[in-house]
Amino acid sequence: MKTLCSLAMAASLSAVALTGAFAVEPNEMLQDPALEARAREVSQHLRCVQCQNETIDESNAQIARDMRILVRQHIMNGDTNEEIIEYMVSRYGDYVLLKPRFQANTLILWFGPFVVLLVGGFVVARRMRAASNTAAAAPLSDEERAAIGSVLPPGDDER
């Protein structure tokens, strides 16, 4: 019985792996394999505006379905990949791009992680330097030793 359950589980996992993570429905697909490949290529650059970090091919959201259909309509109209992406950006904004463009309003996206890394390294270096300065304290003076000796019980002077 365990073997049968294991085989059934392996078969279902294989079926899921073979179908991929695409949410494209058969009725959305183009008949021409070359045009469908172009649609998939364009879709890999476009983010589902509802799901945030999924391509429109991976998302099951209704808006992603509408976007997939729009891409395929533009392909059928003879638009280039760049024209389709520009149309989608004009309709949904720069947010629709999975990889943001390098422009003035996206500089923080491109350089922000490096700035955070540099600031973090600076903070760690300062803390380490401060810790090493406090560890190298001056030796006790005679008055300090006498004060400590008066607090310690007799016989503990040898520490």
pLDDT band at 15 (very low <50, low <70, confident <90, very high): very low
Dist. CA 137–CA 140, nearest whole Å: 9
Dist. CA 138–CA 64, nearest whole Å: 68
- In this predicted model, which residue has the larger pLDDT, 111 or 110? 111
pLDDT (mean) for 105-128:
89
Assess whether pLDDT exceeds 90 at residue 153: no
How deeply is 117 buried, as exposed, middle or buried, from its count of CB atoms within 10 A (0-12, 13-18, 19+)? exposed
Q: Rounded to two decimals, what is the model's pTM? A: 0.56
pLDDT (mean) for 30-44:
90
pLDDT (mean) for 71-88:
94
How deeply is 46 buried, as exposed, middle or buried, from its count of CB atoms within 10 A (0-12, 13-18, 19+)? buried
Tokens of 101: 């463009």
Dist. CA 57–CA 129, nearest whole Å: 51
